[in-house]
């Protein structure tokens, strides 16, 4: 019979079928603890797009997170079905069908979504009006502000009109400002990240000021990922941070130089791969290519083996060069650090949880592929 599951509880790691996605339990738990210790009084709403795994969301909430972020409505629906009751979809929801789905979901959980345009607000309000219940539960609406990421987000001068429109609709609640700069997270030096954080804070403060002068209080300012959340906390404008990758880490994040107050997060996520061919001198071929480890932020790295360089990925093959010329044997298992954790996790059905070289749990990545 073919081993459809890479591993089962009780398996020794050497018996796990590859490629497989594995999580070192001790490092993962320490990463969660370090985040909570480093945010002080700020609220934490970890981004679940990194793990897409309800069991991890439950553990984050058990450690004090107020809820989770999702990037897509279909992702949020999976977590809601698994009992997660407070979800912010950090994205714009556009179109009648999606707004209807959002309105229905908002009746079951505390749901927040982002807007940066009048039309999104009108569409959401219309969907809420169509609900059969006479007194529907409100949907939380956050205005996304363009804070330097050059992605979504309204210009600060446009925010007051959007907030006024939200407040005009009784089924929508103005819940705060979304001020996230994705481009800032991977700036390599602390001083580059600090400038980006200062810019986010400056624009957020300007926007809060504009709203205050119109008599509107801002209940929440949310943003910040693994790269900047510690600086965001220290800067003092955010009231909530939303890091995602910190639980796992990846080769790209490991290239960031740390700031003195940045906690050190351990590498907890690995792709296990095996050497399947060694007919050339100087390099071997492993069974993890780009369908086993994402390459959008750079190639994977071989864990704790500087002699081995993962040089090239094709769909199902990876070329690993031995700098010394001493290639690993056929069947040898290597641990790869994924280049980028989020899209790597999205490639797998399950996460094998490892403790003391044994599989101690298997967690479904229930929202993998949920991109609607």
245 belongs to the binding site for ligand PLP (CB under 6 A): yes
For residues 130-189, which are near ligand PLP according to CB under 6 A?
Answer: 180, 182, 185
226 belongs to the binding site for ligand PLP (CB under 6 A): yes
The residue number with the shortest CB distance to ligand PLP is 225
What's 136's DSSP letter? P
- Strand intervals (E) in the chain: 20-24, 43-44, 68-70, 86-92, 110-115, 139-144, 172-178, 221-223, 240-241, 269-277, 283-286, 301-302, 308-313, 318-322, 333-337, 350-355, 358-364
243 belongs to the binding site for ligand PLP (CB under 6 A): yes
Can you tell me the distance from the alpha carbon of 210 to that of 165, in angstroms, rounded to the nearest whole number?
15
Can you tell me the distance from the alpha carbon of 242 to that of 234, in angstroms, rounded to the nearest whole number?
15
Closer to ligand PLP at the Cβ: 227 or 328?
227
* Stretch binding ligand PLP (CB under 6 A), from 153-161, 204-212, 243-251, 321-329: 243-251
90, 71 contact by CB (below 8 A): yes
Report the nearest approach of ligand PLP to the CB of residue 247 (Å).
9
Report the nearest approach of ligand PLP to the CB of residue 93 (Å).
14
Q: H helices then E strands: how many in the chain?
A: 11, 17
Among 101, 242, 297, 321, binds ligand PLP (CB under 6 A): 242
* Stretch binding ligand PLP (CB under 6 A), from 15-23, 196-204, 225-233, 306-314: 225-233
From residue 258, how far is each of 8, 187, 190, 191, 302 by CA, in Å?
37, 11, 6, 10, 22
Q: Which residue has the tokens 């459809």?
A: 4
* Stretch binding ligand PLP (CB under 6 A), from 129-137, 237-245, 280-288, 331-339: 237-245
Closer to ligand PLP at the Cβ: 80 or 184?
184
Query: What angle, 0 to 180 degrees and rounded to 10, lies between the N-to-C axes of helices 156-168 and 118-129?
Result: 20
343 belongs to the binding site for ligand PLP (CB under 6 A): no
Among 7, 22, 27, 47, binds ligand PLP (CB under 6 A): 47
Contacts to ligand PLP by CB under 6 A: 47, 50, 69, 90, 180, 182, 185, 225-227, 242-245
């Amino acid at each position: 019979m073919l081993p459809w599951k890479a591993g089962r509880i009780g398996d020794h790691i050497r018996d796990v079928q590859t490629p497989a996605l594995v999580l070192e339990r001790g490092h993962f738990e320490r990463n969660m603890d370090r985040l909570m210790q480093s945010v002080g009084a700020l609220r934490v709403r970890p981004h679940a797009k990194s793990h897409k795994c309800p069991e991890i969301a439950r553990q984050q909430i058990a450690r004090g997170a107020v809820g989770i972020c999702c990037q897509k409505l279909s992702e949020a629906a999976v977590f809601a079905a698994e009992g997660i009751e407070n979800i912010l979809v950090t994205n714009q929801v556009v179109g009648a069908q999606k707004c209807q789905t959002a309105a229905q979901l908002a009746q079951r959980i505390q749901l927040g979504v982002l807007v940066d345009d009048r039309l999104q607000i009108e569409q959401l309000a219309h969907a809420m009006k169509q609900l059969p219940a006479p007194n529907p539960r409100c949907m939380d609406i956050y205005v996304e502000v363009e804070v330097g990421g050059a992605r979504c987000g309204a210009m600060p001068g446009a925010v007051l009109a959007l907030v006024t429109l939200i407040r005009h609709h009784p089924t929508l609640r103005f819940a705060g400002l979304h001020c996230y700069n994705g481009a800032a997270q991977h700036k390599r030096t602390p001083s580059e990240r600090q400038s980006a954080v200062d810019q986010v804070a400056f624009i957020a403060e300007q926007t809060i000021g504009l709203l205050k002068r119109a008599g509107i209080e801002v209940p929440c300012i949310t943003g910040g990922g693994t790269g900047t959340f510690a600086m965001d906390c220290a800067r003092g404008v955010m009231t909530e941070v939303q890091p995602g990758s910190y639980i796992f880490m990846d080769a790209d994040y490991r290239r960031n130089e740390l700031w003195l107050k940045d906690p050190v997060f351990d590498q907890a996520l690995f792709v296990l791969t095996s050497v399947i061919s060694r007919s050339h001198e100087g390099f071997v071929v492993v069974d993890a290519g780009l369908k086993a480890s994402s390459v959008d932020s750079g190639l994977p790295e071989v864990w704790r083996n500087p002699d081995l360089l993962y040089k090239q990925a094709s769909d199902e093959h990876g070329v690993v060069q031995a700098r010394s010329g001493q290639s690993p044997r056929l069947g040898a298992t290597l641990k790869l650090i994924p280049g980028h954790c989020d899209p790597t996790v999205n490639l797998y059905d399950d996460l094998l949880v490892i403790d003391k070289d044994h599989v101690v749990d298997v967690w479904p990545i229930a929202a993998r592929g949920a991109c609607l």
